[in-house]
A and B are shown apart, each in its own frame.
Chain A
Amino acid sequence: MIEGLEALYMREVKRIYRSIYMWIMIISQPVMWLVFFGSSLSGLPKEVLISFFHTTDYIAFILPGELSVSMLFVGMFSSMSLIQDKRFGYMKRIFITPVPKYYVFLAKVFGGITRGLLQVPILIGTALAMGVSLNVNVVSIITIILSLTFLGMGFSSLYAMFTIRTSDWQAPGVIANLLNLPLMFSSTALFPRAFFPSWLSDISDVNPITYSAELGREVLLSGDPNWSYLGYLAIFGLIMLILGSYLTNKYMQAE
């Protein structure tokens, strides 16, 4: 039965790497953030950058943040892909075979994670090419991959859950608007916690993006990682995955 899941996952992967538009999106989106948004604070005095951002280079600061935020957008794409399969009837084709319904969900989630992870080498490579100094080694890369995997697992599942009962094209856009922006700005992905009012820092303290962004900074910049963050992200990812699988099995509609 597991070969059914493998087949559905490979379908997602093939759809990603065969589409030129997908590549343009995967490459351009994070690079735009890094180059344009990352340069927006370069005029700040060095002392301000060091005391608030703990680095002299804002690009180095947002690199782990942007990697984390991009997992949010990847979540949105998994829900769009679910809707597409409903609209074109492919979901029916899958549901008339003996594989359990939640395989569809797992394939979308892992397809989304794969897509998100493709951005790791692209972003780190771009940052290095822009002259940012990073601790690139086996431990930091593995840590980043793991934390993004858990983060992507959580968000892809969350998005997919919102799409279980609908086949409306508009749904992912609405969900993205209601989830992406608040989650992105209520985390330390783009700005340090010291800038936030207390209510925002309260949200930021439980926001998984904060944990992924901070852990990324610790391994890539300061070199003093708090490993419990990885545990937090793992729990978030796994709970969402299990919840999503359960809900899909119970409520997913073929159309």
Chain B
Amino acid sequence: MSIVIAKNLTKKYGDFVAVDHISFEIEKGEIYGLLGPNGAGKTTTIKMLTGLTPITEGDAVIAGISVKKKPREVKKRIGWISSEVILDDELTAWENLEIQAKLLGVKDWQERADQLLEYFGIKEFKNRKAGKFSTGMRKKLEVSMALLHSPEIIFMDEPTIGLDVNTRASLWNLIKQINRDYQVTILLTTHYMEEADMLCNRISIINRGKIIAQGTPEELKEKYGGDVIEIELKEIRDGVLSDLESVGKLIKSENKKIAIKVGNAEEVLLKVIGIVGQNNIKSLKINRSSLDTVFLNLTGGSLEENEEFDARRFYAMLRRARR
């Protein structure tokens, strides 16, 4: 059963298309990822799904209800975690939960709130001001607030952005845990490949407002991935490059540094070494197939390069939207 069915979801700011006819379905109980560089349209997609911004074209059906037609009914059934933690720092954890419960119209929320605080191990701090919490505790409180009304799905917009390595790892565990223990479907956006790989059952890769690939991480790696062998040579003899082309795809060759993309590095490694000559090798490195290489293959650029380009595009979009 699909919890979210997005069809041709489109958002335009003036003549700028931030999200361009994207379609995807999210199954009940899965963790679904929208992966792409900054400015690709991930946050705008979440804003449309949560009713924060009107949909220009297309529609999404969440738990059987159209976002366009009945946004309020949808809002009763969804939870939301922001990229920046949003709490009222002047109020206690308990008061933050109370406001959330009342805004959502949840009756008898106290017992569930207590259970959630217990589950996340922050119950003893419930009467402490949220502003005095550590980042990890703040995230936990926010997740408790999102789970308070037993939502069908939780939207997490860049949940681990700006967190240190330890906090990020523990948040990953937390996301997996609540997905399992509370059977809640999760849609998360991220620009970290490893995060999508680690957490998501299925992924849509989104770039410049369009979905360019969909599938499980394994499928995507299988289809668009492949290992990359990087070799630094002492000298490049004639014919070596064309010989290497027969083994895999030559993706870089400069200053005696060569990179070739192959299906499985182990299977062809000996052949490659044979071609270039064992004594000619200064260094050799194998990059395992990952979502990074998938993104590289799909867009022809690394995530970072695209980010830089898209940041400029994003500011241009902001300027236009403000006008």
Binding site for B on A (CB under 8 A): 1, 3-4, 6-8, 10-11, 14-15, 18-19, 88-90, 92-99, 254
Contacts and interface: CB of A to CB of B under 8 A. Distances in A.
A99 B76 CA distance: 9
Interface residues of B, number: 23
Contacts of A93: 80, 82, 86, 100
Contact of B102 (A4, A19, A92, A96): A4
Describe A's contact surface by its main secondary structure.
helix
A34 B67 CA distance: 55
B105 A90 contact: no
B222 interface: no
Given A4-B105, A99-B103, A92 B52 contact: yes
Contacts of B86: 88-90, 92-93
A92 B82 contact: yes
B313 interface: no
A93 B91 CA distance: 15
A98 B76 contact: yes
Given A92-B82, A96-B80, A6 B102 contact: yes
16 contacts: A4-B102, A4-B104, A4-B105, A8-B99, A11-B95, A15-B91, A89-B84, A89-B86, A90-B86, A93-B86, A95-B51, A96-B75, A96-B78, A96-B80, A97-B104, A98-B103
Contacts of A3: 102, 105
Interface of B: 50-52, 72-73, 75-76, 78, 80, 82, 84, 86, 88, 90-91, 95, 98-100, 102-105
B109 to A, nearest CB: 10
Contacts of B72: 98
Given A4-B103, A96-B50, A11 B82 contact: no
Nearest to A95: B52
Nearest to A18: B90
A15 B90 contact: yes
A97 B99 CA distance: 11
A97 B75 contact: yes
B84 to A, nearest CB: 6
A92 B85 CA distance: 11
Contacts of B73: 98
A14 B95 contact: yes
Nearest to A16: B90
A7 B82 contact: no
B52 A96 contact: yes
Nearest to A14: B91
A105 to B, nearest CB: 15
A234 to B, nearest CB: 29
Contacts of A7: 98-99, 102-103
